Amino acid sequence: MTLKNFMAIGEAMIEMAVIGPDTYRRGFAGDTFNTLWYLAKVMPDNWKVSYFTGLGSDAASSEMRAFGEDANIDMTPAREVEGKTVGLYMIHLDDGERSFSYWRSDSAARQMAADPKALREAFAQADVLFFSGITFAVVLPEHRETFLAELAHARREGKTVVYDPNQRLRLWPSTADMIEANTRAAQVSDIVLPSFDEEHAYYGDETPEATIARYQAEGVKTVIVKNGAGAVLAQTVGEDAITVTPKIVTNVVDSTAAGDSFNAGFCAAFFNGKPLDEAIQAGAKLAGKVVQSHGALVEISE
């Protein structure tokens, strides 16, 4: 059986998650890595999942590689960056809502796009390439043009590019810089998975319909607008828009990785032939399970 390859691109970090007063549990997480971790659990056997990032040669980086491999994630595409290590973040929780403190300014992942040849060779191995606004922000500014150019090349070669804007203003010099970067990232993507609260806050979109129209004007084929616990609106160019109302989850313990796990459930279904509405339901179902436990990566049951 020939395996298809779903490759995520981004930064995985050491996660310090609260488990009690003044007590933290160490893990490994990051938005695209979270999506891949869940995808490894729900993707059918005719797919493998792999991760392109930058890691150091130190013990923490080795442990992260091993953690990914143990989760059935192919970590071999990850570049080794001499003299660097992985970033770290700490989760703070307030009634299930999260905020973060980060230590990542000199992480190995910032160098992931330094070698155009490595990008092209890695991307050529994939059938689907998945990245986020955080991925693009983490890449060093001097490497961003190369990164986008290689994604555009991969798309021309028949790869499907999936993008979650996941916009984090603290990673950019200004709102204008973030908006410009997000637009350019969308322009090399086939599928975009924005969150309406961000689109409303940063672009002034009054409705999910406005969000869809704006991304499709940039050449995106399919747009799925996540809206927290509300209805998801989606549309593919040339087809009618659809609205999917997910089942309400009342026992929200920790919203960390809600969007990341939605992406995993959606992609697992969509890239295995499910209709758009069923794929959205699959994403919402998986996210609904994840938010009922602490941390970014939680065990899920059928």
- pLDDT at residue 167, rounded to an integer: 95
pLDDT digits (tens, 9 = 90+) for 176-204: 999 999 999 999 999 999 999 999 999 99
- pLDDT at residue 99, rounded to an integer: 78
pLDDT digits (tens, 9 = 90+) for 119-163: 999 999 999 999 999 999 999 999 999 999 999 999 999 999 999
What the chain holds in terms of domains, given with CATH numbers, is: 4-290 (3.40.1190.20)
pLDDT at 170 over 70: yes
DSSP per-residue string spanning the chain: -PPEEEEEES--EEEEEEEETTEEEEEEE-HHHHHHHHHHHHS-TTEEEEEE-EE-SSHHHHHHHHHHHHTTEE-TTSEE-TT----EEEEEEETTEEEEEEE-TT-GGGGTTS-HHHHHHHHHT-SEEEEEHHHHHHS-GGGHHHHHHHHHHHHHTT-EEEEE----GGGSS-HHHHHHHHHHHHHT-SEE--BHHHHHHHH--SSHHHHHHHHHHTT-SEEEEB-TTS-EEEEETTS--EEE-PPPPS--S--TTHHHHHHHHHHHHHTTT--HHHHHHHHHHHHHHHTTSSSSS-----
pLDDT at 295 over 90: no
Q: Which of 261, 248, 249 is nearest to 290 (CA)?
A: 261
Lowest mean pLDDT among 53-57, 262-266, 288-292: 288-292
pLDDT digits (tens, 9 = 90+) for 261-285: 999 999 999 999 999 999 999 999 9
- pLDDT at residue 254, rounded to an integer: 61
* pLDDT over 90, % of the chain: 77
Query: Active-site residue numbers?
Result: 260
Whole-structure pTM value? 0.93
Sheet (strand 222-225) strand order = 73-74, 47-52, 4-9, 128-132, 160-164, 191-192, 222-225, 232-236, 242-244
Q: What is the mean pLDDT of the chain?
A: 92
Question: Confidence class of residue 297 from pLDDT cuts 50, 70 and 90?
Answer: confident
The residue ranking higher by pLDDT, 291 or 53, is: 53
Residue indicated by tokens 């080794």: 80
pLDDT at 16 over 90: no
pLDDT digits (tens, 9 = 90+) for 144-155: 999 999 999 999
pLDDT digits (tens, 9 = 90+) for 57-100: 999 999 999 999 999 999 999 999 999 999 998 878 777 566 78
- pLDDT at residue 287, rounded to an integer: 86
Neighbours of 273 (CB within 10 A): 9
- pLDDT at residue 106, rounded to an integer: 87
